[in-house]
A and B are shown apart, each in its own frame.
Chain A
Amino acid sequence: MIDYAIPAFLPFFVAAAIALIIPHKFRFALILVPIVNGILLYTSGLNTANISWQLHNFDIQIMDVDKLSLMFAYLFHIACAICLIYAMHLKDKLQLVSGLTYAGSAIGAVFSGDFITLFIFWELLAVTSAFLIFARKTTAAQNAGIRYLIIQILSGVALLIAAIMHFNDIGSYDIDFVGLGTTASYLFLFAFGVKAAFPFLHTWLTDAYPEATPVGTVFLSAFTTKVAIYMLARTFPGEDLLVYIGAAMTCFPIFYAVIENDLRKVLAYSLINQLGFMVCGIGIGTALALNGAVAHAFNDVIFKGLLFMTMGAVLTRVGHVNGSDLGGLYKTMPKTTVFCIVGAASISAFPLFSGFISKSMVMAAMIEAGHEYLWLMLLFASAGVFHHAGIKIPFFAFFAHDSGMRPKEAPTNMLIAMGIASGLCIAFGSYPWLVYHLLPWDNVYQPYDVTHVLTQLQLLFFSALAFVWLNKQGLYPPELRSVNLDSEWLYRKVLPATGGVLHNAMAFSLHMSKRTFLLFKSLVPKMHINEGANAATLTYRMVIGFVILAVIAFITEIM
């Protein structure tokens, strides 16, 4: 057995560079990169070498391996492989290259042992992923991409400042438990919170993900937010504040998800909802809760990726994913429909699907920690997530009223990718030990008992019943083409408007002062060239000069 002893992100960057120059028909070989690298890393496991480079007197810890970082690295390898298969129909090299570097940066970030290395990969994540948005080539995507980039870079800058302040406090850049208290720790929380889509900092996600290319969104949904979750699990486990933030994150997005028309934006909101469960788990900080959070991140990447893939397939074939204009697609896209339902069942935590186990770990930990009312919030969110992601997405896209559209079934490579993801969702849900023996903390959790299966089924079936009843009563809000205001309104409307008002005010005052100056200047008698010097005019000008000087002298005297 050979131990893995190169920086794990390197194969991805090399492959991206090669992808730039090789002829397009060899692109299939790229899929091997995450698969081979992942298998090598898996067989090596905890024997994987730690690598650090000495740079003057600073140690760059490029590979810092433990169970937690390995778990996320495996996950990112699987996600990257699925995404690449999903992207194989593209002729657009840009997306393949940025996707590969993006995945590589995520893997680099989870293996970083110090905050400076993390900062480099943190910024690389932002820059490489932005091209997946720009690649859509619409004006809306360009603008959303710029906004995305600004916010992501801001998070990176906050991280760097926090790292330096943290170094001043404790004299080390090592990534370790930080815990809230110092200014640096709050800055860390802000930096991670931006990428983890904390409430009010989340709008980059719901803004940019629906604008990215079909392939781009699948890539995007896998990496950035999960790196943030990983960092929170490392630096702030057991921080009480996170439980409340997490609970808020599970609840507020589902309201938006119910009324949102763009189905990929619905998924973006439901992504925040799932992140909420993870943040809650990290906040509780017990072994069960942390395992639950990590396991949920693992499952979420796959089922949320699957849902984004099915919507990407619809977007590729139809050209939009507006719930108001879709419907009846199951007739011509039956396979995509089935995959979408598998994803929906997984995210809703149906027994035997992957979400069931990890979500119930977080819920059980919540009860153990004594947060009864927050537990009720999470239960509300669980019912809600089934409502909008489990029912709304498949129902409005593939069933509902017949839109008359008869698009072709998704391209074969997309179907393969969705098939693999669906298989994994069912496998991880039905054979939990596949994932759960990898979990970093020691804890035994028995997900399948009668109580739990029964209560979960009751919750889900009666949520579905509510949907049926509301639909029959005509109470269900119709899908409408619209924009729903979110906190992005502050920087997309209020800030530009305030800037506009300020600009106008400045321009006005400048104009007025010019006018006043000219007015006073006109009072000064003119002296023309070639005109004889006029004693009266000269005296007059000198008097004005003296008066001004006297006024200035007076002012300086009294001040």
Chain B
Amino acid sequence: MKAQESTTEKVSFFDNPKNIKIMMIVFYVLCALLVLLDFVVHRHIYLDFEKIPTFYALYGFVACVVLVVLAKLMRKVVMRDENYYRDRDDLIGTESKDEEHQS
């Protein structure tokens, strides 16, 4: 997300759909620019893979989609109830916050 520049601004900034939209447009434009730059700038090539135009952009996108899809599939195998190992006594709402004594 392009949240880096804007987090210090007003509190309700991210609740305004208009702002989100502007941010997303800026983000898309930046992505497009990076792709265009790939054809302008002469990259140093060390490996065969890198000869593919916009290799890094493609790889980044595909890697993340593959990662998420595989992780979702993995959930079917490894996901269990949160009390699977034993009943937890510190689930939400039951843990007393005063354990970290505030001075």
Which residues on the A side are within 8 Å of B7 (C-beta)?
A: 330, 334, 337-338, 341
Chain A residues 449 to 494 lying within 8 A of chain B, measured CB to CB, are 449-451, 454-470, 475-477, 480-486, 492-493
Select one of A136, A383, A394, A462 contacting B3, CB under 8 A: A394
Binds B, one of A138-146, A286-294, A533-541: A138-146
Instruction: Judge whether B16 is part of the interface by a CB distance below 8 angstroms.
Output: no
Q: What's the least CB distance linking B45 to chain A, in Å?
A: 9
Which residue among B60, B79, B95, B97 has the maximum number of chain A CB atoms within 10 Å of its CB?
A: B60
Report the contact-size class of chain B (Cβ under 8 Å from the partner): 35 or more
> In the complex the two chains form, is A470's CB within 8 Å of B65's CB?
yes
Which residue among B54, B64, B90 has the maximum number of chain A CB atoms within 10 Å of its CB?
A: B64
**Contact of A395 with B68 at beta-carbon distance under 8 Å, contacts A319-B97, A482-B79 already known:** no
Which residues on the B side are within 8 Å of A319 (C-beta)?
A: 92-93, 95, 97
> In the complex the two chains form, is A258's CB within 8 Å of B4's CB?
no
Contact with B along A64-85 (1 / 0, CB 8 A): 0000000000000000000000
Which residue among B67, B70, B77, B88 has the maximum number of chain A CB atoms within 10 Å of its CB?
A: B67
**Contact of A387 with B64 at beta-carbon distance under 8 Å, contacts A91-B103, A255-B70, A320-B95 already known:** yes
Binds B, one of A52-60, A373-381, A549-557: A373-381
**Contact of A395 with B1 at beta-carbon distance under 8 Å, contacts A319-B95, A402-B15, A485-B78 already known:** yes
Select one of B57, B75, B92 contacting A477, CB under 8 A: B75
> In the complex the two chains form, is B60's CB within 8 Å of A458's CB?
yes
**Contact of A384 with B67 at beta-carbon distance under 8 Å, contacts A367-B47, A477-B75, A483-B81 already known:** yes
> In the complex the two chains form, is A451's CB within 8 Å of B80's CB?
no
> In the complex the two chains form, is B88's CB within 8 Å of A458's CB?
no
Instruction: Judge whether A270 is part of the interface by a CB distance below 8 angstroms.
Output: no
Instruction: Judge whether A89 is part of the interface by a CB distance below 8 angstroms.
Output: yes
Select one of A91, A380, A454, A460 contacting B43, CB under 8 A: A454
Measured CA separation A187–B41 after assembly (Å) = 50
Measured CA separation A138–B44 after assembly (Å) = 54
Contact with B along A325-367 (1 / 0, CB 8 A): 1000011001001100100010000000000000000000001
- Count CB-based A-B contacts (< 8 Å): 203
> In the complex the two chains form, is B41's CB within 8 Å of A450's CB?
yes
Chain A residues 242 to 260 lying within 8 A of chain B, measured CB to CB, are 254-256, 258-259
> In the complex the two chains form, is A399's CB within 8 Å of B60's CB?
no
Measured CA separation A469–B49 after assembly (Å) = 25
Instruction: Judge whether A316 is part of the interface by a CB distance below 8 angstroms.
Output: yes
Measured CA separation A421–B35 after assembly (Å) = 33
> In the complex the two chains form, is B78's CB within 8 Å of A461's CB?
no
Which residues on the B side are within 8 Å of A411 (C-beta)?
A: 102
Select one of A320, A376, A463 contacting B61, CB under 8 A: A463
| Main SS at interface, chain A | helix
> In the complex the two chains form, is B100's CB within 8 Å of A213's CB?
yes
Chain B, residue nearest A394 (CB) = B3
Which residues on the A side are within 8 Å of B100 (C-beta)?
A: 89-90, 213-214, 316
> In the complex the two chains form, is B82's CB within 8 Å of A380's CB?
no
**Contact of A458 with B57 at beta-carbon distance under 8 Å, contacts A255-B74, A330-B7, A466-B65 already known:** yes
**Contact of A483 with B30 at beta-carbon distance under 8 Å, contacts A259-B71, A367-B47, A466-B61 already known:** no
Chain A residues 133 to 169 lying within 8 A of chain B, measured CB to CB, are 136-141, 143
> In the complex the two chains form, is B102's CB within 8 Å of A470's CB?
no
> In the complex the two chains form, is A91's CB within 8 Å of B78's CB?
no
> In the complex the two chains form, is B43's CB within 8 Å of A451's CB?
yes
Select one of B11, B56, B82 contacting A458, CB under 8 A: B56
> In the complex the two chains form, is A140's CB within 8 Å of B49's CB?
no
Q: What's the least CB distance linking A4 to chain B, in Å?
A: 34
Measured CA separation A214–B56 after assembly (Å) = 37
> In the complex the two chains form, is B102's CB within 8 Å of A458's CB?
no
Contact with B along A283-313 (1 / 0, CB 8 A): 0000000000000000000000000000000
Measured CA separation A461–B65 after assembly (Å) = 13
> In the complex the two chains form, is B59's CB within 8 Å of A461's CB?
no
> In the complex the two chains form, is B49's CB within 8 Å of A460's CB?
no
Which residues on the B side are within 8 Å of A454 (C-beta)?
A: 34, 37-38, 41, 43
> In the complex the two chains form, is B71's CB within 8 Å of A477's CB?
yes
Contact with A along B18-44 (1 / 0, CB 8 A): 000000100100110011011001011
> In the complex the two chains form, is A459's CB within 8 Å of B56's CB?
yes
Q: What's the least CB distance linking A423 to chain B, in Å?
A: 16
Which residues on the B side are within 8 Å of A395 (C-beta)?
A: 1, 3
Which residues on the B side are within 8 Å of A334 (C-beta)?
A: 7-8, 11
Measured CA separation A492–B43 after assembly (Å) = 51
6 interchain residue pairs of minimum CB distance: A466-B64, A462-B60, A258-B71, A91-B101, A458-B56, A459-B60
Given contacts A337-B7, A367-B46, A387-B64, 13 further A-B contacts (CB under 8 A): A213-B100, A255-B67, A258-B71, A334-B8, A345-B4, A399-B14, A458-B60, A463-B63, A465-B61, A470-B64, A477-B75, A483-B80, A483-B84
Interface on A for B, CB 8 Å cutoff? 89-92, 136-141, 143, 213-214, 254-256, 258-259, 316-317, 319-320, 322, 325, 330-331, 334, 337-338, 341, 345, 367, 372, 375-376, 379-380, 383-384, 387, 391, 394-395, 399, 402, 411, 449-451, 454-470, 475-477, 480-486, 492-493
20 contacts between A and B (CB under 8 A): A91-B101, A92-B101, A138-B90, A139-B90, A213-B100, A255-B70, A255-B74, A319-B95, A376-B49, A387-B68, A391-B1, A454-B38, A455-B56, A458-B38, A459-B57, A460-B60, A461-B57, A466-B61, A469-B65, A485-B79
